[in-house]
Amino acid sequence: MKLRYIIASLAAAAALFTGCKEEGDTYFDEIRVSQSYVGIPMDGGSKEIDVKATFQWAFDEESIPEWLTVEPKSGPAGEGKIKFTAPVTLDGRNAELIIKCAGREQRINIIQGLATVSEATVKEVMNGPEKKYRVTGVVTKIHGAHYGNMYINDGTVEDPGLQIYGSLDKKGNKMTSSTAYDCFNSGHANAWEISVGDKVTVEGPMTIYKNEAELVDVTIIKIEKSLVKVEPLEIELDGPDAGDTLIKIASKAEKIKVTPSVDWLYVKEIENTPDTVFARIGFFPNEGVVKREGTVSVTGKGFNDISVKFTQGANAPGLMTIAEALQGSYVHIQGTVMAICARGYVLSDATGSILAYYGSKFDATKYKIGDEIELIGDISAYNYGPQLSCDGKDGFDLEEKKSEGTGTVTYPTPKVIDKDALAALIASINGKDGKKVSDAIKMEYVQIAVTPKKSGNYTNLFLDDYTDADFSAYQLPASFDLASNIDKKVTVRGYVQSISGGKHVNIVFTEMVEGEADVPTIEYTDLSTISALASGADFELTAIVAFVTSKGDAAIVTDGTNFFYLYKPATTPAVGDIVTASGKISVYNHLHESAQGPTVTVVESGADLPALTPKDITATYGSFFSVDPHPADYITAVGTYVVDGNYTNLVVEGSDSIKGSLSGKTDASWNGKKVRVTGWFTGSNKGGTFIYTDVTKIEAAN
């Protein structure tokens, strides 16, 4: 153990048993505290200390870790108390807090238990609790080398193994966007010179992100260099055709062996030169409809195995929207299961819906509402209804469930079909061919108030006394008891599927209620409850997209009053889209937001935005971050428009410490003028001295 770790452990132990340190070594006339060392038990708790100041004081909030609550964080001149609270922890931890007062910095050391590190395998880390670990493994992949990101594996799990998200450099500094250099391979004085195949020992805290374990901001303890360097480590083959490619193996090891892991890859030729082996790898054509992956393993005496990953394109069309598929023939789509009947399910995306038809052998128990499913096959139409035949006939090539549904989804606002709308729908197929996709009707989500009536072996659904056309339940599952509602008024919601007999509109049911019901409206989540969630918490919401950032990398949603920032959503929505979203909460540079890549599903497009009035923060500009972290917000303020080199700022009178940093619809012609700027708060710098504003409007102000 290094000397600094011994000293830290002894200090922690002393603090744990004494709970305080007598004042006397360092104190200031401007500010004094009763204890500069505060011990909190491992099972959590609170401790108070006394503070006495001759001037106003405040903590440097950057010095307060997420696991510690400090109350209050600032105070006036005079005497008072400060309370420190921490939850239970599996590992010891410590922090050094800084109080600033009249140019002085008083430091307070918080210790909770003894800082220990558990040595573990990769598998034990990935299945273990969130705590600090030391683990050794072979580097299988490097991504984001500027920040020291990599994967390591020790053979206890499948590749790529455990993700290391951020590595400290040789001086122990964390890489940031402003200081990043190639932490592994740049030749920088503080770089580690790590390559794939090296064996490393790292130490750091484990956290769970998107249900996956990762070590964050690790300390590199040891590096064992591999005797071999292989280039490239990942090969993307263009298309499904056969061919070959070259791998270069720079090695001082003996008896190099190159072994493909799959039968569609093979070693075509090996050429040896001094210190270098060239392996020409051949590959057979991919006759399948999905991409395939394989590896070539490079092994030898005295070094860790290195795998080269191959990905070969598929013999199928690229992924398309359902709307695009309805214009084609052989299609590749992905969507959400919105309704299930006795012969298949309705699959929808943001652009449209289609029936996945499986026929009489369909097993509905294998599916849930909300399942995400990928399909490849021939598209067709039957009775003017678009469908993809998934019944095992020629032309159907793939069904893959991408994710499991929960049994519920948020449906779009249904379109009400009355007599006029029904008559118009029937008229729309006049002179058309029910077996042509180009003549198919649009599968819309609808609501009908009807009376079921028995007609021989069939039950039709009538709009009052209108008999020129009617509705029927398409392949109704047993969960709907239509028989007990004969001759009674019911409200049905579902998807228009087809038109049979020239007058019977078939509906795939999603809901049936007694009587004539009102049209449901989508209920938005109260986003103030989302803004109250702590970093790392899971969230789910339904809201409408109010803004998409000028960079296109984020969307801001609203419930009509509050706002939430979705950072780099997996699907980028448009303004006016009603969406459901889920993911984890993150706090970055004073902005309360989603972690990167939340799942976003468009429920309905083109909805009318509620009236949004920007908050005038001119008078409170300097105290904007009194709410910290701050949610995304629609704001306006009056100030001087200042162009400063590559930056554009808003300087508000009376606010010396905080400025507006403007992006989006900026205009240098306003430089030096007093203006009112309206836009969206999208974050800050680390110090909280800028209000990042994505501008939507600039106008002159008096």
Amino acid at 402: K
pTM, two decimals, is 0.62
Provide DSSP, 89-153.
Answer: -SS-EEEEEEEEETTEEEEEEEEES----EE--HHHHHHS-SSEEEEEEEEEEE--GGGT-EEEE
Alpha helices in 309-396 (DSSP H): 322-325
Judge whether 509 lies within some domain.
Answer: no
Residue 199 and residue 122 share a domain = yes
Last residue of one domain, picked from the residues 66, 97, 112: 112
Judge whether 377 lies within some domain.
Answer: yes
Contact 333, 321 (CB under 8 A): yes
Strands (E), 390-515: 396-403, 415-416, 445-455, 458-462, 470-473, 490-500, 504-514
Judge whether 423 lies within some domain.
Answer: no
Q: In this structure, what CATH number is given to the domain that contains residue 636?
A: 2.40.50.140
Q: How far apart are CA 147 and CA 163, in angstroms?
A: 13
Contact 332, 318 (CB under 8 A): yes
Q: In this structure, what CATH number is given to the domain that contains residue 572?
A: 2.40.50.200
Q: In this structure, what CATH number is given to the domain that contains residue 96?
A: 2.60.40.10
Question: What total of structural domains would you count in the chain?
Answer: 6
Residue 96 and residue 7 share a domain = yes
Judge whether 670 lies within some domain.
Answer: yes
Residue 373 and residue 297 share a domain = no
Strands 591-594 and 578-588: antiparallel
Judge whether 440 lies within some domain.
Answer: no
Q: How far apart are CA 444 and CA 341, in angstroms?
A: 16
What is the reported pLDDT for 1?
A: 34
Q: First vs last Cα of the chain: how many Å apart?
A: 66
Alpha helices in 453-608 (DSSP H): 527-531
Contact 240, 285 (CB under 8 A): yes
What is the reported pLDDT for 186?
A: 75
Residue 124 and residue 219 share a domain = yes
* Host domain of residue 292: 228-312
Last residue of one domain, picked from the residues 112, 147, 165: 112
Residue 241 and residue 211 share a domain = no
Half-sphere CA count of 569, side-chain side, radius 13 A: 24
Residue 194 and residue 122 share a domain = yes
Judge whether 427 lies within some domain.
Answer: no
- The residues with which 496 forms a beta bridge, in sequence order, are 507
Query: Across the 702 residues of the chain, what is the mean pLDDT of every consecutive 10-residue run?
Result: 36 40 55 90 91 92 88 93 90 86 89 79 89 90 86 89 90 76 79 87 86 89 85 87 91 81 93 86 88 88 80 87 92 95 95 93 93 92 94 77 91 95 96 94 96 90 93 93 94 97 96 94 94 92 95 93 94 92 92 92 91 95 93 96 91 91 94 96 91 96 86
Strands (E), 351-414: 352-357, 372-382, 385-389, 396-403
Q: How far apart are CA 352 and CA 495, in angstroms?
A: 11
Residue 238 and residue 179 share a domain = no
Judge whether 304 lies within some domain.
Answer: yes
| Longest CA–CA separation in the chain, Å | 98
What is the reported pLDDT for 336?
A: 95
Residue 238 and residue 212 share a domain = no
What is the reported pLDDT for 177?
A: 64
Structure token digits, residue 241: 């055709």
What is the reported pLDDT for 115?
A: 64
Residue 599 and residue 531 share a domain = yes
Contact 48, 89 (CB under 8 A): no
- The residues with which 153 forms a beta bridge, in sequence order, are 138
Residues in contact with 155: Cβ distance below 8 Å, sequence separation at least 6, in sequence order? none
Q: How far apart are CA 579 and CA 187, in angstroms?
A: 47
Last residue of one domain, picked from the residues 170, 192, 224: 224
Reduced to 3 states (helix: H, G, I; strand: E, B; else coil), residue 9 is helix
Contact 34, 50 (CB under 8 A): yes
Structure token digits, residue 675: 């203006």
What is the reported pLDDT for 16?
A: 40
Reduced to 3 states (helix: H, G, I; strand: E, B; else coil), residue 562 is coil
Judge whether 481 lies within some domain.
Answer: no
Structure token digits, residue 311: 């990905």
Q: How far apart are CA 240 and CA 700, in angstroms?
A: 59
Q: How far apart are CA 512 and CA 516, in angstroms?
A: 10
Half-sphere CA count of 233, side-chain side, radius 13 A: 15
Q: Quick one: CA torsion of 268, 271, 277, 283, rounded to 10 degrees? A: -10
What is the reported pLDDT for 20?
A: 38
Per-residue buried b or exposed e for 355-378, using 16+ beta carbons within 10 Å of the residue's own CB: bbbbeeebebeebbbbbbbbbbbb
Measured CA angle at 295 (ends 291, 298), to 5 deg: 165
Residue 328 and residue 299 share a domain = no
Reduced to 3 states (helix: H, G, I; strand: E, B; else coil), residue 196 is coil
Q: How far apart are CA 527 and CA 562, in angstroms?
A: 6
Residue 177 and residue 210 share a domain = yes
What is the reported pLDDT for 427?
A: 96
Structure token digits, residue 173: 């500094």
Structure token digits, residue 619: 């008078």
Q: How far apart are CA 657 and CA 322, in angstroms?
A: 52
Measured CA angle at 695 (ends 694, 699), to 5 deg: 165
Residue 89 and residue 9 share a domain = yes
